[in-house]
Amino acid sequence: MLQGHPKGLLVAFFANMGERFGFYTMMAILVLFLQARYGLAEDDAGIIYSVFYFLIYALALLGGYIADRTGRYRRTILAGLVVMMGGYLVMSVPGSPLPVVLAGLLAIAFGNGLFKGNLQALVGQMYDDPAYGKLRDSAYSIFYMGINIGAMFAPNAARSIRNWALAQQGYGYDGGLPGLCHRFLKGELADTATFQDLARKVTGGEVTDLAAFARGYLDAFSTGYHYAFAIAAAAMLVSLAVYVLFQRVLPERGGAKGGSQGATPMSPQEEKRRLTALGLVFLVVIFFWMSFHQNGLTLTYFARDFTVKEVGTGMAYLFDIRGLVSLAAMIIGAVMLLGRGRTLARRVGGLGILGAGGAASWYLIRSYGPVTPIEAETFQQFNPFFVVFLTPVVVAFFGWLRAREREPSTPLKIGIGMLLAAVGFLVLLLGSLGLPSPADLNGAPSPERVGPQWLIGSYLILTVAELFLSPMGLSFVSRVAPPRFQGLMQGGWLGATAIGNQLLFVGSFMWVRFPLWTVWAVFVVCCLISAAFIFSIYRRLHAATSG
């Protein structure tokens, strides 16, 4: 898959992978941490979540401006990695008050702004060379896969350290308990029977002092999440080491004032045409990310409050990260064994990997009991898992079409991605029919829950949509952006993403006020309107990519 690509792509791949592992370790738990540690309601936690996500991408505009003005992309990226690591360390201190945590989030957002867009710009600069130009779309797909390898393991790292912290204090896990603990301590829990029953379940014995239990459980629960932020800081250190050791193979377009040295001059008219096309795509991106990034917000609430807490053996295998790795080994081994044009050595290696994956799977399945508890954070491993294993499929599919001169243009791929996103939320809409409204439950556990297949199916479809839109959008920006605005336009893509993330609170606002199915209906409509808009301006966008 990397054949024919410059060496710098591999460096960017691994530097990004470590950084994204840290980032998604935090994002898998952020709203759950805010609620458990500070007793925030869903909509209040959603506001902090959406503002932070907004700043993560909005500050990429500042980072792009700094890199474009100085021409020092590599140094700007390095500074971003250091600042982000400092932010995670601030958040890792147990017992931190909310203002300190918010300061840590701000540092992470600023560091990410220096890092993310400029690393994407460097990837694009490698493919400005005509020798690599035709591989630009596949390069961004591969680069995007690195993001998701890190993200795939992140939720389990956060979940595992949280559960370890609970176990150290003699507690088990229950996702609904922190909310009940806060309500009890505030005197808002009229009926304590459910609370008493859950307390007995996670302690394994009778609980006579519910107030002491509530304070102890909240402290252990939130301390585990602080430790998870420390894991994110460690991941940042690894990413920083990779980048420092191998950054010399990345391009560095020096020269202050005015951007990329050696770039071909472009007329003001052509720059205006390209910037207009980019602005139109950025408009669509707003609504995609407003919908897609609900995975850490309303989709997490849905996993916690409306999805079953226990699954059978088959599903337990899928929720176990070891099971997903074993499944991945079997898929890779089968491809190596059965694919066309493989050498004997590759086939023997494929047979070995397939056998190892099968043996691990057999061992895991035999180790599960009749029912296995599942946790809300774990659902977030499915999106990156699907990205990692669908990316080669999508890249190969587009390569097959390219060889026959039938590959869709980048704007058309983006439009198709929006249609697929609408289908993904439609799945959730159908799964939510008949479920009670969160507003009617008033913080109590839902008596009616659905199987995990609804969320997993939605994540699968949304992942395919993401692969059609996100890496293709990055490729579109790098191809269309005027040379002297490369870093700034990558920042513009992220800035549009920022506005979409600022609108994430729409989901949490509706969550506590409207029937559940209407929450997903709003996102279906947003994605359909965005797709229609892309198709209506398709000719203008296609002309910009061919100019």
Q: For residues 218 and 216, what is the distance between their CA atoms, to the nearest angstrom?
A: 6
Residue owning tokens 């691990």: 360
pLDDT of res. 537: 85
d(CA 123, CA 1): 16
Q: Which two tokens stand for residue 496?
A: 């549009």
Residue type present at position 157: A
Regarding predicted confidence, which is higher, 190 or 224? 224
Amino acid 3: pLDDT: 64
At residue 457, the pLDDT reads: 94
Secondary structure (H, E, C), 98-117: HHHHHHHHHHHHHHHHHHHH
Side chain identity at residue 485, one-letter code:
F
Q: Name the 3-class secondary structure at 375.
A: coil
Name residue, tokens 């659905």.
450
pLDDT above 80 for 130 = no
2 vs 54, higher pLDDT = 54
Q: What is the mean pLDDT of residues 59-79?
A: 85
Backbone angles phi, psi at 493, to 5 degrees: -60, -45
Across residues 83-90, what is the average pLDDT? 95
Mean pLDDT confidence for 110-122: 86
For residue 262, pLDDT beyond 50: no
Quick: pLDDT tens for 186-198: 998 888 888 999 9
**C-alpha pair distances (Å), 109 with each of 86, 208, 280, 425:** 11, 44, 25, 28
At 256 the pLDDT is 37
CA distance 94 to 166: 14
> Could you give the percent of the chain with pLDDT greater than 90?
32
Residue 547: pLDDT over 80 = no
Q: Which residue has the higher pLDDT, 208 or 117?
A: 208
Q: Is the pLDDT of residue 322 over 60?
A: yes
Question: Tell me, what's the pLDDT at 48?
Answer: 93
Element (H, E) at 311: strand 310-311
Q: Residue 193 is encoded by which pair of tokens?
A: 């029977």
Is the Cβ–Cβ distance between 253 and 73 less than 8 Å?
Answer: yes
Is the pLDDT reported for residue 263 higher than 70? no
Q: What percent of the chain shows pLDDT beyond 70?
A: 95
What are the CA-CA distances from residue 435 to residues 307, 429, 432 (Å)?
A: 11, 10, 5
Over residues 382-400, mean pLDDT:
80
